[in-house]
A and B are shown apart, each in its own frame.
Chain A
Amino acid sequence: MSETNDTNPSLTDLDAEHWLQAYEQMVKIRTFEETANELYTSARMPGITHLYIGEEAIAVGICEALRQDDYITSTHRGHGHCLAKGAALDKMFAELLGKEAGYCRGKGGSMHIADQETGNLGANGIVGGSAGIATGAGMSIKLRGTDQVSVCFFGDGALGQGLLYESMNMAQLWKLPVIYVCENNQYGEYTHNSKAAAGSMVGRAAGFGVHAQAIDGQDIRTVHATARLVIDRARKGGGPAFLVCNTYRFRGHHVGDIDRPYRTREEEAEWAKRDPLTLLEDWLLKSKQAEENVLERIRQEVKTAVDDAVAFAEEASFPSESEVDNHVYA
């Protein structure tokens, strides 16, 4: 992919304001997830949840290249995608706490947040389960004749699911505007992908003739520049793309996975050197696009907003009993 293509956005034509907005989104996800973890460890949140910490550059890099009316489908590790696509903190926390004010009136919880106003067709508790849905949204776009794009987020664990390949095959046959974003965070639950995925990851999509490439998922500038290219291509009828974004799940599979016996602390420390937030901070400072006090102000503002959202969610009401059999059928 060329970075100097005249017809496409490059890394250098985005101004500081844009990057600070992206930084704010990444900080928002990080702070949201750290707070969700606290809610779990202090027994203030029912169930468990899967944290996106370490992977923020992917959701934000992709979603910053989307319009509000574009679609995404998300995963069990989906808070980052929802927030990056525009979800509000208060309704997110309310959903995590099972409150009626949540995005799904407390019926979905952490793994099922959907918000059609921001084009979020739903997080999914089935690994790879949304590949068909995102592709169907692409079919819908084609049939309705709009120039929307559909993005399917999934982890490397989903590479083991047949539905993904059925879907990519049809997306390429029919040139559907679907971007398949594989967040290769190295582990499918507790198993390293070297034990789960044979052969080449990008080769799987390339075999269908789908535009496929592997990129550094820790560097938002790379993710965003690539996203703009493939999204623009899909919008213009160029068909689907498949991105393997190499990244790392900084925390366990879920909040209760604290021992992580399946991987070493050394490996974690190596990846921690490439924290996506730090990488963006360093670049913003070195390129003199922002002063440290500006970044600090963003972090503080996000912290305040997250605290307010948690307070809202904790004070919100649980759904009434009459809600339990509401919405089984439309």
Chain B
Amino acid sequence: MSTLENGIRCSPAIHAPGERQITFGQAIREAIAEEMARDESVFVIGEDVAAAGSVFKVLVGLLDEFGPERVIDSPISEAGIAGIGVGAAITGMRPIVDIMFGDFTTLVMDQLVNQAAKTHYMSGGKLTVPMVLRTTLGASRRSAAQHSQSLHALFSHIPGLKVALPATPYDAKGLMKSAIRDENPVVIFEDKMLYQEQGPVPEEEYTLPLGQADVKRTGDDITIVATSSMVYVALEAVDKLASIGISAELIDPRTTTPLDADTLVRSARKTSRALVLDEGYRQYGVTGEIASVIADGAFYYLDAPVKRIGAMNVPVPFSPAMEDLTIPNADYVVETVKSLCG
């Protein structure tokens, strides 16, 4: 994981001097607490969310603030709590279902894919499922193959679901608040390695639309599309590229479904080159879809094939000596960009 000292360029409104700095985890917690205070139909259910404040301590204090009726410790029953989320959402509540590790989302597949995603459509628009399922992604915690995956591509594939992957505290808070207010099931993937990272977040109320990419850096020679933690890897690469005279534009789509294709295509038409970076497995990953969208929309403007970088197609190994090899890093991004711009 690269350093965050790069200083992400956020939208001007939140870049003012003296801006409050909070962590990614605090931003998530604030978003949930604000929405729970605003709307009594919002509640949180999951393993160790109440008394423990979640294993990553993101939800500490929520139990005291809102009580055990609305911050509910569940048994270790991922499918069951996801089902409870669907049923509660259909009948007037706005549940936030907490799935501790993204790897465990495989246990809730039927409830998300066959139930939550399809209920609105199958009922001809009568029923809605305003539910948030928040979970994690990302390797590099030396947690091995069942606690390290980035499985957002699985859900991005499914019509009826929305999928968000915030990279900054600002994006995390704004996207979480929008997800809670959304009438559809939204899956939010939070990178475990980002929870302690700081960034500017205004005191004032704000939300961010689901489906709007954010240009983290502007540039002219190549468009780098990066998601979640890979935004930081890309930022490090962008700085290195700048030192050798390559100007890269960095765009974070922030949501894979819906995908802000216009912003991606516009940028690629401008720079004539594109590289897509994501921590999911490379094979059939979201990089494939994004690269295809760019290739379709910008083909006649491109000077090189659209390249993509993902996690190595292996189960995430435990040993640090091996794990680090499987995750994209800035040097590899730089080398790939140089080959495209050569």
Contacts and interface: CB of A to CB of B under 8 A. Distances in A.
A and B are interacting partners: yes
B7 interface: no
B90 A163 contact: no
A231 B279 CA distance: 50
B228 interface: no
B126 A137 contact: no
B82 A132 contact: yes
Interface string A163-194: 10011011001000000000000000000000
Nearest to A115: B126
A329 B84 contact: no
Interface in A115-170: 115-116, 121-122, 124-126, 129-141, 143-144, 150, 162-163, 166-167, 169-170
Contacts of A330: 120, 125, 128, 130, 183-184
Interface in B242-300: none
A193 to B, nearest CB: 22
Contacts of B125: 105, 326-327, 330
A170 B77 contact: yes
Given A129-B114, A137-B87, A330-B120, A166 B79 contact: yes
Contact of B91 (A102, A103, A124, A137): A137
B83 A163 contact: yes
A135 to B, nearest CB: 5
Given A136-B91, A143-B93, A108 B110 contact: no
Interface in A15-63: none
Interface in B154-191: 159-160, 162, 183-184
A103 B123 CA distance: 7
Interface in B118-170: 119-128, 130, 159-160, 162
Interface in B43-102: 43, 45, 69-70, 74-75, 77, 79-93, 95
B87 A121 contact: yes
Contact of B86 (A115, A133, A143, A169): A133
B96 to A, nearest CB: 13
Contacts of A125: 114
A100 to B, nearest CB: 9
Nearest to B76: A166
B84 A136 contact: yes
Most buried by A among B83, B90, B121: B83
B87 A105 contact: no
B121 A328 contact: yes
A111 to B, nearest CB: 9
Nearest to B89: A136
A170 B119 CA distance: 23
Most buried by B among A104, A135, A143, A329: A329
A249 interface: no
B115 interface: yes
Contact of A135 (B43, B84, B93): B84
A252 interface: no
A102 B123 CA distance: 10
Contact of A163 (B41, B70, B79): B79
Contact of B123 (A114, A134, A136, A144): A114
Contact of A108 (B43, B90, B124): B124
Contact of A126 (B82, B114, B120): B114
Contacts of A121: 87, 90-91, 127
A107 interface: yes
A138 B92 contact: no
A112 interface: yes
Contacts of B70: 143
Nearest to B69: A143
Given A144-B93, A166-B79, A169-B75, A138 B87 contact: yes
A104 B124 contact: yes
A126 B88 contact: no
A105 B79 contact: no
Nearest to A111: B122
Nearest to B86: A133
Contact of A327 (B111, B120, B162): B120
A328 B159 contact: yes
Contact of A122 (B79, B122, B184): B122
A150 B87 CA distance: 10
Contacts of B127: 114, 116, 121-122
Contact of A107 (B77, B90, B124): B124
B159 A136 contact: no
Contacts of B119: 114, 122
B122 A108 contact: yes
A123 to B, nearest CB: 9
For the complex of A and B, list the 3 residue pairs with the smallest distance between their C-beta atoms, beginning with the closest. A132-B83, A136-B87, A166-B80
Given A132-B82, A327-B120, 5 more contacts: A122-B119, A126-B114, A129-B114, A141-B91, A163-B83
16 contacts: A73-B87, A104-B122, A106-B124, A107-B124, A114-B119, A129-B115, A132-B87, A134-B87, A136-B88, A136-B90, A138-B87, A143-B41, A144-B93, A150-B87, A170-B77, A329-B160
